[in-house]
Amino acid sequence: MTDLSAATLHKIRCAAEIIHEFHQGVVLTGAGISTPSGIPDFRSPNSGLWERYDPFEVASLTSFRYQPEKFYEWIRPLAQEIFAAQPNPAHYAVVDLERHGYVQTVITQNIDNLHQRAGSRLVLEVHGSLETFTCVSCYEKVAGKQLHERYLVSGEVPRCAGCGSVLKPDIVLFGEQLPVRTWLAAQEASRRCDLMIVAGSSLEVLPVAGLPMRALENGAHLILINKSETYLDVRADIVFREDVSQILPRIVEEVVVD
């Protein structure tokens, strides 16, 4: 693990002291919590996926309807990386906070299912996941595991066994609404929490980026761990600019020490 500065170590102790005081915490995660697992993010300069692709050409609901082949050509390498990835120390640190009663809900913008694989119990996937697919015509739902070989290995566009129409992964594309029940639950959790930890999100994508503000408006404390600036840095109790897979486990070590 990289040596941390004295200032960062002090902030880690301060963050741990804050977490100790609360037991209705929410962790909001973005792509930055999964990049240490080998999954690329979307917006980092020079490396983000949107540096190489126009999202409205490959990942919008409109483009999917007219050119599903182009969508699957784009998502195929990303899906391969997602299914090969393993949870990293940051995911397990979140689980530790849950097990010790400090965090009640995980809200994630990620579609990789790594929180669940690490052991998190209540995960609200506001942008969906690749774990299930839905037929665009008859709305039959299919487990993703049944389809992975079809489009990951052969590159074939998966189709419904019943009606033959294209199957769409249950992820939120540009121009598509968030899953209503999940979004309402995320809003409620943010409103009721007494602490929110933002881990690996630049808070640029609405409406999810507004959830920490909802928490602040109801008196919650806010800890931010992200390599780049966010619009709420000035409102947070503590801000870390380091790698979340290094910082969050160190914070948890301080919190759960016997």
Locate the domains of the chain by residue range.
Answer: 1-39+87-127+178-258, 40-84+130-171
What is the model's pLDDT at position 145?
A: 79
User: In whole angstroms, what separates CA 212 from the centre of its chain?
Assistant: 14
What is the model's pLDDT at position 167?
A: 94
Sheet holding 238-240, edge to edge: 123-125, 103-108, 25-29, 195-199, 221-225, 238-240
Tell me the average pLDDT across 38-66.
67
- Residue scoring higher pLDDT (145 or 24): 24
Average pLDDT in the chain = 90
Q: What distance in Å separates the CA atoms of residue 134 and residue 172, rounded to the nearest whole number? A: 12
pLDDT band for 74, please (50, 70, 90 cuts): confident
* CATH number 3.20.20.210 is the correct assignment for the domain at 40-84+130-171: no
- Selecting among 23, 127, 148, 221, the annotated active-site residue is 127
Say whether 127 is catalytic.
Answer: yes
* Crossing angle of the two packed helices 244-255 and 6-20, in degrees rounded to 10: 50
* CATH number 3.40.50.1220 is the correct assignment for the domain at 1-39+87-127+178-258: yes
Summarize the chain as % helix, strand, coil (round to 5): 45, 20, 35
pLDDT band for 76, please (50, 70, 90 cuts): confident
What is the model's pLDDT at position 15?
A: 97
Model's pTM, two decimal places? 0.92
**In terms of Cα–Cα distance, which of 125, 129, 123 is closest to 95?**
123
pLDDT digits (tens, 9 = 90+) for 136-177: 999 999 988 777 777 777 778 999 999 999 999 999 998 899
